[in-house]
Structure 1
Amino acid sequence: MNESDTSGSNPKSDCTLLNPTQIDEMHQMDFVGPRFIKGYGAISSLHLIDVVSTRVHIEQFDSKHMDNVIAFLIKYWSNNPIPKYLQVDNGMYFIGDFKNPRGFSRFVRLCLYVGTEVVFIAPSSPWMDGSIENFNNWFGSKFWDKETFEDMEDIRTRSLHFVDQHNDLGAWKKRNKKLEQVEPVRILKDAAEINLNKLPVTDGAVHFIRPVDDGGRINVLNEALKVGKEFISEYVWATIYTGTRKMNVYYRAKDQDVAVLIKEFDYELNMGVEPRRDDIWKT
């Protein structure tokens, strides 16, 4: 079985170890597009959703580039709480290149720097990002594919009204639910002082949901790692702990409440790891 194709399998494992119940506990992020606007060119839309509150934030760009992802997050995190987890797919604008092993992209480094833990879903598995995919479908049918736009300014202006309507409706639907805010609330301060071209690797965690291939291996950051043939066709959860330079791999069967540690690797890095700074957040 190809590691990125589990359509013919019937995994007995839970794909995720997370069950968010609080606002800003987990966000999901994804690109939509590109869409080609006559007389202007290609536009892609970057979407962020809070899994619990369903509140969204979006912005359009002329390309799916990591620079745009970073600018989007810096602006958002300077005015809104940083989530505990940020779940994304394996696009190069998030994970980086598909060649060099154990390399941390600038996106991952930024997330480590601000204290959020990235979760990469399994390759070619958009259903694992159910919340953002549901919004993407709503965005497509109610706005993206329905309206005619003139240029970037036009779509950005009009998309703000669409998002406000979506968030107002989501708040109304959850009006009787007592949703709690994850603690502590952390908002980025002095973002302009961050050297985005020289972001360090910071002490933290990065997570990967991965299928086990026919050789009993998973692929994490362009490196095949053996976890055991008994887990072939199953999904496992791999976590890199940058501070201790370890990778732990967990498995949880669907009928089990607790994940089991099935493998531990030494995970040496070719760069230093800096401690997380607590002075980067607003008080």
Structure 2
Amino acid sequence: MKNNFTKEQLRIKAIELFNNKWNISEICKTLNCSRRWFYKWLKRYKNDQSGCWYVEESRRPKTKKKKIGSNTELLVLETRKQLMSTAFMQYGPQAIFYHLKMRNIAPPPVWSIARILQQNKVTHIKRPDTYKAKGKKYPYAYLLSQQMDFVGPRYLYSKTRYYFLNLICCDTHYAQVSALESQGSNNVCNSLIRFWKTAGIPDFLQMDNDLSFWGSLIRPTALGKVIRVCLLHKVTPVFIPIREPWRNGIIEHFNNTMQAAVLNSERFDNIDQIQASADRFCQIHNQNHYYSTQDGKTPEQCRKHLNYPLVVLREDYRLPDKPLALSEGEIHVIRFVRSDLKFNIFGLSFILPEETQYEYIKGVILTSEHKLKIFKEQKLITEFKF
């Protein structure tokens, strides 16, 4: 029967049957409609019996979206051009927002700025989401820590090889870039000392398993100069799991930003020019790059806001010329233990109990006791001579 009526006739017929004392179930069955549909039009009928209650009402939104003003749009685009014209400056929606705020101009929301850039087709293609590790929980995090990483090798047009050694404070994103001719431990130690004179000495220094950080594969228990410098200044070295660079995620993200800014800016003839460009980038990064994880503060602003408690080295400090003795302290080595139950430390293997299989395990080397203690989270599992 439903197909014999138009929509409006069907609504009128349903109310006529209701007024004729038909049962609602019979009305719905006869007209092949739902009870919800019937009650909707019954309510409309009772509210407006003499009017056109059976006519469909407009479904247009009652409020219109506020259109972004042309002046605001022009301001955003001009600010972006201004930021792009300055070397190493950020020029995304968040950078534009904070730049306008610093000029005492009330900025539109970040999402509005992003929409303006998208409408004017001046946005970059968004990279796919970075890989997120799945599976086992990684239970080891460190406060008052810094991260260190090598980038390279890279090559000049003269085929001269060089490396970047990057350091960053995890709490403030304050960073330093050093352009080095080699990965030698002396270069690493000098870069550390230079960084600690400005950023301060951390409690922990987290790094990957680059051999120049550890020392030697021939004598892996004779800990290298980088570790000795750390222990001399009461810094605990932390070595992340093998082939898991995302555990150093802060410095890895900084590496990408640094390379895109420095290496694409100009052509270099020697390493001194690269170092000068890297220093300019670090100055702009530390003073002008805004981080959402820091409530929109730059690294310098965050250091002042946190009243960063790290003690800085004296400006006239120099490393001793004589070989460094091994100071008392701890060295943390984190590994993912697989089915062979081996805990590997730069060529040394230690067989662990079965409860450590497919788990992240932390080895703590105690230099004063010459021991390697194995922990699963906070639980001591076993220990070895080292």
Query: Where do residues 202-213 of structure 1 align in structure 2 (5 Å cutoff)?
Result: 202-213=327-338
Range with greater deviation from structure 2 (153-162 or 47-56): 153-162
Q: Does 1:218 align with 2:337?
A: no
Residue 311 (structure 2) aligns with: 185
Q: Does 1:147 align with 2:274?
A: no
Residue 6 (structure 2) aligns with: none
Q: Does 1:18 align with 2:141?
A: yes
Larger Rg: 2
Deviation at 1:191, TM superposition (A): 3.1
Residue 255 (structure 1) aligns with: none
The percent identity for this pair of structures is 27
Distance, in Å, in 2 between the alignment partners of 1:117 and 1:182 is 19
Counterpart amino acid of residue 120 in structure 1 = F
Residue 54 (structure 1) aligns with: 173
Distance, in Å, in 1 between the alignment partners of 2:348 and 2:372 is 12
Asked if structure 2 preserves the Cα contact closer than 8 Å seen for 1:53 and 1:170, the reply is no
Deviation at 1:98, TM superposition (A): 2.0
Deviation at 1:100, TM superposition (A): 2.1
Distance, in Å, in 1 between the alignment partners of 2:277 and 2:266 is 10
Query: Where do residues 70-85 of structure 1 align in structure 2 (5 Å cutoff)?
Result: 70-85=189-204
Asked if structure 2 preserves the Cα contact closer than 8 Å seen for 1:33 and 1:43, the reply is yes
Counterpart amino acid of residue 136 in structure 1 = N
Q: Where does the alignment leave 5 or more consecutive residues of structure 2 unmatched?
A: 1-130
Asked if structure 2 preserves the Cα contact closer than 8 Å seen for 1:13 and 1:236, the reply is no
Q: Relative to structure 1, is the Cα distance of residues 71 and 214 closer, same or farther in structure 2, using a 3 angstrom cutoff?
A: same
Query: Where do residues 102-121 of structure 1 align in structure 2 (5 Å cutoff)?
Result: 102-121=221-240
Higher helix share: 2
CA displacement 1:189-244 (0-9 Å, x = unmatched): 7533x435410000011101112132212012432112212322221111111123
Distance, in Å, in 1 between the alignment partners of 2:152 and 2:220 is 29
CA displacement 1:89-131 (0-9 Å, x = unmatched): 1111111222324220011011111111100111221111100
Distance, in Å, in 2 between the alignment partners of 1:64 and 1:87 is 17
Distance, in Å, in 1 between the alignment partners of 2:206 and 2:231 is 13
Distance, in Å, in 2 between the alignment partners of 1:37 and 1:13 is 42
Distance, in Å, in 1 between the alignment partners of 2:209 and 2:322 is 21
Deviation at 1:145, TM superposition (A): 4.1
Counterpart amino acid of residue 234 in structure 2 = G
Residue 243 (structure 1) aligns with: 368
Asked if structure 2 preserves the Cα contact closer than 8 Å seen for 1:95 and 1:105, the reply is yes
Normalised to the residue count of structure 1, the TM-score between the two structures is 0.78
Counterpart amino acid of residue 212 in structure 1 = V
Asked if structure 1 preserves the Cα contact closer than 8 Å seen for 2:362 and 2:374, the reply is yes
Counterpart amino acid of residue 141 in structure 2 = L
Q: Does 1:92 align with 2:216?
A: no
Normalised to the residue count of structure 2, the TM-score between the two structures is 0.59
Asked if structure 1 preserves the Cα contact closer than 8 Å seen for 2:198 and 2:312, the reply is no
Deviation at 1:157, TM superposition (A): 1.2
Superposition RMSD in Å: 2.5
Residue 232 (structure 1) aligns with: 357
Higher strand share: 1
Counterpart amino acid of residue 136 in structure 2 = K
Query: Where do residues 159-198 of structure 1 align in structure 2 (5 Å cutoff)?
Result: 159-170=278-289, 173-174=296-297, 180-181=306-307, 183=309, 185-188=311-314, 191-192=317-318, 194-198=319-323
Q: Where does the alignment leave 5 or more consecutive residues of structure 1 unmatched?
A: 1-6, 253-258, 268-283
Distance, in Å, in 2 between the alignment partners of 1:111 and 1:218 is 23
Range with greater deviation from structure 2 (243-252 or 174-183): 174-183
Counterpart amino acid of residue 245 in structure 1 = H
If asked which structure has higher relative contact order (CA below 8 Å, sep 6+), I would say: 1
Asked if structure 2 preserves the Cα contact closer than 8 Å seen for 1:119 and 1:206, the reply is yes
